[in-house]
Structure 1
Amino acid sequence: MAPADADAVANGGVSFWWQQLGLPTPRPALPGDRQVDVAIVGAGYTGLWTAYYLKTLQPDLRIAVLERRFAGFGASGRNGGWLTNSVTGGRAQYGRDGGARQQAAMNDTVDEVIRVADAEGIDADIRKGGELEVARGAAQQARLEAAYADESSWPHTDAERWDAAEVAARLRVAGATGAIWHPHCASIHPAKLARGLAEAVERLGVEIWEDTTVRVIEPGRAITDRGTVSAAHVIRATEGFTADLAGEHRTWLPMNSSMIATEPLRADFWDEIGWSRGETLGDFAHVYMYAQRTADDRIAFGGRGVPYRYGSRVDTDGRTQQRTIENLTGLLRRFFPAAADVPIAHAWAGVLGVPRDWSPTVGVDRATGLGWAGGYVGTGVATTNLAGRTLADLVLDRDTDLVSLPWVGHRARKWEPEPLRWLAVQAIYGAYHLADAHEARGRATTSPVARIADWVSGR
């Protein structure tokens, strides 16, 4: 098996998704001090969805979205394109009733994104084929069985457990021993959704100011390098870049995730492996992977590279490490041996926000007018929409089912200071990689190393 050719792989450039579209024409920077009703910091999915629902509910609101680079620059334009119903942090944290309501809301959210994309004319290559999580080996199969037993005991999951033959009939992953499939997931083109959503909120009259760095968020104002925006409500929608804000350095850890995309694959490859119904693909490894078949017949395949940079540093152009490209390429080819000679066209990376308890949050402090949403731990494509609708209801003081969901107002404790934070993340992911290696050599049960890492991480 030949490694990925470093010279042939386009690395960075924000993401393959943006390189495929072409980077957007820059919008104007903030021209100076402004007074608005709602200031939103961050023009990713969270900020854009919040602006969209605020403006549709109350069209006379003056809304400004402030963005350091361009709309969709962060995880919104770099993710794996999974529009899924995942409830990060686990239903158990919310209690049975709260967890069931949160799950039902996430199921509905997948369809809400599809509805809005259709209504707004956003062609984001959306294909609702469900989510398929495969087990490869005895230890992963044991975790699959435990996960299915848990999921099937809750309402609103609609999960199905498949044996090896059923998996092979749908998607032939080498070594797959079983899978869980559920229908509440669609594959999308992330940058097309981000671009289309930004254009939709502008049509509604929302101002998006790019190339504008917010330094400080305070009650009643967002202080930027180009002026101060005063507003009754200021919403923090910065997710993986939250650590760059004054006072927020330890709020969420910016976790790195990396992806590769192949060159387009021939029809005989797809005939050999299947994968014809738009399913997204994941697994039950500790350092898990995620993948989709793109609209132009590539495999976009992701996983953890270097998980964290010391001091919560974040990247500027999406570039990832060569060893990460080689590791992801090797894993892709182990999943699909028929892809052994398929060139890798592009590689990139991005950051996502991880709270100390791995659970997302949304809220508005009525006393200060400050709002926030994020900490999606990699499941933000759908969750951002639920966050945007919830923030809109909270800002407008609407008494809806959304504002009573259990994640509203949740606060996790802060991450440890450096160097403890860096040491902890290195130890956690080192342990997960070791556990996966042990299990790949035939261990039948989950490695105790992984159980220790789970405890340390707070998962």
Structure 2
Amino acid sequence: MTARPRPVRSLWADTAPPEPAREPLDGDTEVDVCVVGAGYTGLWTAYHVLEHDPGASVLVVEAERVGFGASGRNGGWCSALLPQGENALAAEHGPVAARAMREAMRATIDEVERVVRAEGIECHFRRGGTVVVARSGPQLARAAAEVAADERAGSPERLRLLDAEQTRKTVGMTRALGATYAPDCARIHPLRLARGLAAAVERRGGRVVEGTRATQVEAGRVRTDRGTVRARHVVRATEAWTATTGTREVVPVYSLMVATEPLPARFWDQVGLEGGETFSDHRHVVVYGQRTADDRLAFGGRGAPYHFGSSIRPGFDRDEAVFGKLRATLRDMFPAVAGARFTHAWGGPLGIARDWHACVRHDPATGLGSAGGYVGDGVGTANLAGRTLAASITGRDSELLRLPWFGHVPPRWEPEPLRWLGVNAGLLVARAADAAENGLGRPTPLSGVLARLTAH
């Protein structure tokens, strides 16, 4: 008999206050709004519907627990990042629409902070910005190009280029030649935010049920294993798990994380990050980290393979080879961590659209809506998506409904085995581009190939 994979406990699950499970759905019911998925998108949608229409009946249906998916497992960056690059957005929608999208995302960080403060959500929200270090000549060139592009887009005060000394004062990372600094990011404890949002929805009169799996989502009706919900508006907010419905709208790609024990003051004297900055570097294979509220390093990255057939399984949350690379990368960035104990290793899937273009959709005629395709940038984007869905559901005339991602329909991913070959080939290209740059000390054509593959 094959042993079942050992359950993975994230740092966030172990450092959030215990919370009893909510009751499942108790039979057929009828509501104004039914949201499928108690992650950020679903909870923000429910919260803002109730904010604008306190008399609405709102039900959030969750197959597992609140924050079970990426909302409770991510790196804790509440940022203004979008999965699709500025140039790609401008090419598809025009520079005015691209600028409006970017400014809406920047304003979203203020909006998240407003609700966190107003609702008393203890999610360790600290707005310290993001520092992305350049540790090689090619990385420094990319950093400078990003800042120049931001200036051409009309916001020269937003993204700053730091020199080596300025970088070291912010984060004591090895081989730092410079960095980009963006102020529009807050460090958070992601699971505390998800649970706090669920409680806020309930305080406003909404209902959140757990252990209730949706088996069919359609206009006007959600069938579950606990009963059928009829609703004027139905919102599918399932992100990576959307792939399990066979729609080929997104592919689930795994991102994994590790975390250390709380580190002593002498470590932080060397490393810095005193202002709550989140951090990364300008390599191609995405990595991300934060100094947690209890002085740990929480660090994650891509690198796990895409699994054939868009499969999602608990066993995929662990990949010891990737965990080992993450620990090695962290030790390379911060050698003083070498003697520290790593206490947690976990992961989970995120959703990627074929064109790397997140989208929000809602048809007032049928009441059917959805949002997703955040490519790991979902903490902030989900708030904007939820506010946009709420505006459409409640019939408000809002500028949010004129943003270029509202109504966008991404192309479908290719059928297997082309999907498996293409997604994993992209990962190989990213690794090869980093290896080539490290070996040659200069950019390679692979960087351009990767930019085209990821719509940047």
Q: 1:331 to 1:198 in 2, by over 3 A?
A: same
SS in 1 for 2:173: coil
The TM-score normalised by the length of structure 1 is 0.94
Report deviation, 1:111.
1.0
**Is residue 9–residue 344 contact of structure 2 (8 Å, CA) maintained in 1?**
no
AA matched with 2:107: D
**Is residue 14–residue 319 contact of structure 1 (8 Å, CA) maintained in 2?**
no
SS in 1 for 2:256: strand
**Is residue 46–residue 384 contact of structure 1 (8 Å, CA) maintained in 2?**
yes
Report deviation, 1:455.
3.3
SS in 2 for 1:37: strand
Tell me how far apart the structure 1 counterparts of residues 311 and 451 of structure 2 sit (CA, whole Å): 24
Partner residue of 1:360 out of 348, 358, 372:
358
Moved more, 94-103 or 329-338: 94-103
Match of 2:336 in 1: 338
**Is residue 32–residue 226 contact of structure 1 (8 Å, CA) maintained in 2?**
yes
Are residues 1:113 and 2:112 paired?
Answer: yes
Tell me how far apart the structure 2 counterparts of residues 394 and 14 of structure 1 sit (CA, whole Å): 37
The TM-score normalised by the length of structure 2 is 0.95
**Is residue 303–residue 328 contact of structure 1 (8 Å, CA) maintained in 2?**
yes
Are residues 1:38 and 2:37 paired?
Answer: no
Moved more, 317-326 or 119-128: 317-326
Match of 1:255 in 2: 253
Tell me how far apart the structure 1 counterparts of residues 194 and 233 of structure 2 sit (CA, whole Å): 23
Partner residue of 1:296 out of 290, 294, 297:
294
Tell me how far apart the structure 1 counterparts of residues 220 and 323 of structure 2 sit (CA, whole Å): 44
Point out where structure 2 has 5 or more consecutive residues left out of the alignment: 1-5
Tell me how far apart the structure 2 counterparts of residues 135 and 457 of structure 1 sit (CA, whole Å): 20
Tell me how far apart the structure 2 counterparts of residues 90 and 426 of structure 1 sit (CA, whole Å): 21
Partner residue of 1:48 out of 38, 43, 52:
43
Partner residue of 1:449 out of 427, 442, 446:
446
Are residues 1:348 and 2:343 paired?
Answer: no
Are residues 1:137 and 2:136 paired?
Answer: yes
Tell me how far apart the structure 2 counterparts of residues 174 and 214 of structure 1 sit (CA, whole Å): 48
Q: 1:148 to 1:457 in 2, by over 3 A?
A: closer
Tell me how far apart the structure 2 counterparts of residues 132 and 224 of structure 1 sit (CA, whole Å): 44
Tell me how far apart the structure 2 counterparts of residues 44 and 265 of structure 1 sit (CA, whole Å): 30
How many residues end up aligned between the 2 structures?
447
Map Cα deviations across residues 115-160 of structure 1 (whole Å, 9 max, x no partner). 1011101011111111111111011111112111111222346111
Report deviation, 1:68.
0.7
Report deviation, 1:449.
2.6
Match of 1:16 in 2: 11
Tell me how far apart the structure 2 counterparts of residues 86 and 123 of structure 1 sit (CA, whole Å): 23
Q: After superposition, where does 1:95-174 map in structure 2 within 5 Å?
A: 95-156=94-155, 158-174=158-174
Match of 1:71 in 2: 66
Map Cα deviations across residues 296-347 of structure 1 (whole Å, 9 max, x no partner). 0000001013131111111337731111111000000111011111111100
Tell me how far apart the structure 2 counterparts of residues 423 and 142 of structure 1 sit (CA, whole Å): 31
AA matched with 1:117: V
Match of 1:7 in 2: none
Aligned-residue Cα RMSD (Å) equals: 1.6
SS in 2 for 1:89: coil
AA matched with 2:202: E
Match of 2:317 in 1: 319
SS in 2 for 1:152: helix
AA matched with 1:130: G
Match of 1:8 in 2: none
Tell me how far apart the structure 2 counterparts of residues 167 and 454 of structure 1 sit (CA, whole Å): 26
Report deviation, 1:458.
5.0
Match of 1:6 in 2: none
